[in-house]
Structure 1
């Protein structure tokens, strides 16, 4: 025990003795929901760390949550995100799973690269070992006990401060130690975010009901980190590096791992696709630099929010499994896993939001869930591809919090009661669907907050789930498997109302009525403003597509038209679906290495993007009417 903690222990004994002698009315216990606040204060005092610094570092890692003792997507445990890859386990790359062709271009051979396997354990992923050594507790205790986890984090932060050699008298002296805690000695982006948090302050209730407050310190310290620089497209307020993906010819006449283009002059960029890596940072960076692998535009590190750019935004990366979406989007990968571990760090959420807002403003992309989409919202290009489409970032990505950080919260701009459109807005922490399969098939996942709401065939919690004939061609109902998106909606997604019965609301979804609990006193969805599509009079059904490709006559001589193939769904008369606007038809013809031979084919056909199920889809504008949703 340190001399500091021994003196503190003696003082506590003296106080306890006085309390025993005092009347019962003066010896009341402190509120139980403030225990974690007291744990932070005690750990800060024991290890000589400014309390606000300790709170700020923890907030940027976990938002002070316990997360049921489960690891983050980057193997971090507890409020202080002490990392233990041995306990959390390794993972491969989701680009290897499910048979998805990440390029998704019917004009070219399918792309199914193999991964060299997970990277070995590295010291930054084992901070729990050093923390356990510093406080004399086991790694298991630090993973499972929030109070000991906080002590371990405080001891580790103090150890980093000693290594910097800087004075530690004020919070401003701790910049270097905070950066080191973010994962690397130069994690300036993480340190900057911590100091911004210290300036603004925070007051929130954690996932397990603990109320914590970090008082604001408005004039604490200006930013002293390293802004983005070099050949990167990033906001100046983040740390961003260039790790280029190679564009080169391969044996056998192929090439990789992306296509050169000239966006937005050649094609407007309409989407930003949010992914997770299903692997750890070092391995992910090796993969994207392999010319025979696949590509994405950016990666974001979990521990500190560091950003690496791989493919310029003008070029087309292979990331979404749908060539139309690839050619119209920017792909952003986040270190972590969609199910295993299942919570993402605040540091990564924050720098990701800054990057996405910057890219959205630069490319005039609306900040809504029709254009800032998950990989799980990207449609298959045809019926055969639907079952293999990926489902990251998964149901544990906090879309509501993410859009708060983007400055486009879901609780703004809602319609009047009775609107025929609703936006899904479940409370993340309290909304805990009973998913299975996070660790092994059929095994219940650890209960945790989720952005997903489950749809039923009737207004009852025990009613069957909906059927997704594309995902389950045998006609069986959807399941509660964490990867099964056939009967769920996510926060921020907008759907057309089909019916309301008491506390239950039904929306049109894949040709069916999908019911979810939406109590009037505690709503899980709110009225929205917008438009809906319905079949034109006389049309009993309308085809639904996974791409918005041009008509055959739009292709010049010598260029084979890309087929326009309907999905196994249809928009039936009497149904309506939320619309996010009319778009033109385009196909980026890029099948050879020389970019001089690439061509953007634009047709006369117009499409309307709709929220047809969990994934977006397209209908021919000539087949439908677009109406206000009153």
Structure 2
């Protein structure tokens, strides 16, 4: 799978209408002012972490609390020291938690030496955001921070407790990645050298203490696929699997992202991940970003991407596509976990898995690849192999090009997409991808563009067009 991180699916592109401020909006505004943190950046970070859901003071799988995901034995205690608020208040009170998150983020900025002038520029906070995530490696820290900045770029309009809506208007921000610019871009698997069992997955290996080296299916037959919900974010889950050794080692073979269905493999299928107790030897485990009590994480894009992964695994090991062999964590004998939970739509998921017995369909569209706010304004067929599309985002004046495959779905094959704004160099995404090429984005308001792409042997090259 090619492409940069794409914003979470609840974001809408239309400019938000005026909404009366509520308790959470007030809390973000107050915390941003107190700690001189850009308000929109603070909201974007909170949304990336929790979808603004404090989960009633209950912790995530990695011990994070509240809408700002303050982590016990780490940022939670730091926030208490910086704000003078008790750990209990920081865990359960949204306003206190937001104050604590802002204080911790500001502390990272101070340690990095951000001046008062730099603090007014959201792009200068990138390294502080990366530090806030507490990632286990620079690669995951970049994945975490990139997610936050994609949200800031595309905008947010998200529900909060009490019927309130919290809004961030779309804004173009150029992040100053500093040393993280040299980290691997896990949001773009085509840039990674390591091969994976699933062609469109990125590779971010779990700590060796969190799985057992094996030789499956020679040593143990693989006849089950176990579906999990992570109780945490995509980047946070990958980071948790990379952390060790610890008293309760945990991992899964794959992690799937909510917003765009991106997949990262963390354990080779031949090895035994520690995810499902008595089923560890016989199964492949798939974690999904999100929380069991919040349905907003379970997007159609996630379902489709995960289903394509499940179908691919099943075909390679001869696993029947039924609910006896594709099970939830809660169905494993002796399991104490409840995931994927009542909000997981098994009917929809299995329909995507089986595909009615027909040819697999591509789970991605030009809009999901380019992100919310982008609308198709032109497209061209690439024979029977795919379609290349030009999209425009009226909120920020950006164009985007994506090539969507129609054949060899789930199998890496040559595909490309390009966008050339008049007077500027051409930007291209090309390689062997399982589902699509792109997104290739560029600011092009009131500019002419050339665009096109390739799938299989079919090529499309546009003239200089769409000048207004």
Determine if the alignment matches structure 1 residue 332 to structure 2 residue 283.
no
Determine if the alignment matches structure 1 residue 165 to structure 2 residue 165.
no
Runs of at least 5 residues in structure 1 that lack an aligned partner in the other structure: 1-29, 85-124, 248-255, 379-385, 396-449, 452-489, 496-528, 532-630
Choose from 361, 371, 375 the match for 2:329: 375
Once the two structures are TM-superposed, the CA of residue 39 in structure 1 deviates from its matched residue by: 1.8
**Aligned match of 1:258:** 214
TM norm structure 2: 0.50
Determine if the alignment matches structure 1 residue 180 to structure 2 residue 180.
no
Once the two structures are TM-superposed, the CA of residue 77 in structure 1 deviates from its matched residue by: 2.1
For the 8 Å contact 1:241–1:308, the answer to whether it is kept is no
**Aligned match of 2:143:** 189
| TM-superposition CA deviations, 1:575-617 (whole Å, max 9, x none) | xxxxxxxxxxxxxxxxxxxxxxxxxxxxxxxxxxxxxxxxxxx
Q: How far apart, in 2, do the equivalents of 1:220 and 1:49 lie?
A: 17
TM norm structure 1: 0.39
For the 8 Å contact 2:253–2:268, the answer to whether it is kept is yes
Alignment CA distance shift 1:375-1:50 (3 Å): same
Choose from 34, 39, 46 the match for 1:58: 46
Aligned to 2:245, what secondary structure does the other structure show? helix
- Structure 1 residues 307-316 or 200-209, which shifts more? 307-316
Alignment CA distance shift 1:289-1:179 (3 Å): same
Q: How does 1:433-472 map to 2 (within 5 A)?
A: 451=343
Q: How far apart, in 2, do the equivalents of 1:50 and 1:198 lie?
A: 11
| TM-superposition CA deviations, 1:114-142 (whole Å, max 9, x none) | xxxxxxxxxxx431221122223222222
Q: How far apart, in 2, do the equivalents of 1:268 and 1:81 lie?
A: 36
**Aligned match of 1:227:** 185
Q: How far apart, in 2, do the equivalents of 1:128 and 1:389 lie?
A: 30
**Aligned match of 1:34:** 22
**Aligned match of 2:457:** none
For the 8 Å contact 1:204–1:212, the answer to whether it is kept is yes
Aligned to 1:330, what secondary structure does the other structure show? strand
Once the two structures are TM-superposed, the CA of residue 196 in structure 1 deviates from its matched residue by: 1.2
Aligned to 2:284, what secondary structure does the other structure show? strand
Alignment CA distance shift 1:206-1:369 (3 Å): farther
Once the two structures are TM-superposed, the CA of residue 161 in structure 1 deviates from its matched residue by: 0.9
For the 8 Å contact 1:72–1:343, the answer to whether it is kept is no
Q: How far apart, in 2, do the equivalents of 1:195 and 1:493 lie?
A: 34
**Aligned match of 2:460:** none
Aligned to 1:204, what secondary structure does the other structure show? strand
For the 8 Å contact 1:240–1:307, the answer to whether it is kept is no
Once the two structures are TM-superposed, the CA of residue 159 in structure 1 deviates from its matched residue by: 0.8
**Aligned match of 1:139:** 87
Alignment CA distance shift 1:78-1:246 (3 Å): closer
Aligned to 1:212, what secondary structure does the other structure show? strand
Q: How far apart, in 2, do the equivalents of 1:66 and 1:246 lie?
A: 28
**Aligned match of 2:245:** 286
Aligned to 2:227, what secondary structure does the other structure show? strand
**Aligned match of 1:45:** 33
| TM-superposition CA deviations, 1:167-193 (whole Å, max 9, x none) | 333111111110111113731111011
**Aligned match of 1:493:** 347
Which protein is richer in helix relative to its size?
2
Aligned to 2:163, what secondary structure does the other structure show? coil
**Aligned match of 1:313:** 269
**Aligned match of 1:82:** 70
Alignment CA distance shift 1:353-1:33 (3 Å): farther
Q: How far apart, in 2, do the equivalents of 1:351 and 1:171 lie?
A: 29
Runs of at least 5 residues in structure 2 that lack an aligned partner in the other structure: 1-17, 187-191, 350-354, 358-468
Cα RMSD over matched residues? 5.4
Q: How far apart, in 1, do the equivalents of 2:272 and 2:176 lie?
A: 37
Aligned to 1:80, what secondary structure does the other structure show? coil
Choose from 339, 350, 354 the match for 1:393: 339
Determine if the alignment matches structure 1 residue 212 to structure 2 residue 166.
yes
For the 8 Å contact 1:56–1:195, the answer to whether it is kept is yes
| TM-superposition CA deviations, 1:298-342 (whole Å, max 9, x none) | 5799xxxx998553135565754677x965x5213579998xxx7
Structure ID, larger Rg: 1
| TM-superposition CA deviations, 1:393-433 (whole Å, max 9, x none) | 253xxxxxxxxxxxxxxxxxxxxxxxxxxxxxxxxxxxxxx
Alignment CA distance shift 1:40-1:393 (3 Å): same
Q: How far apart, in 1, do the equivalents of 2:62 and 2:215 lie?
A: 30
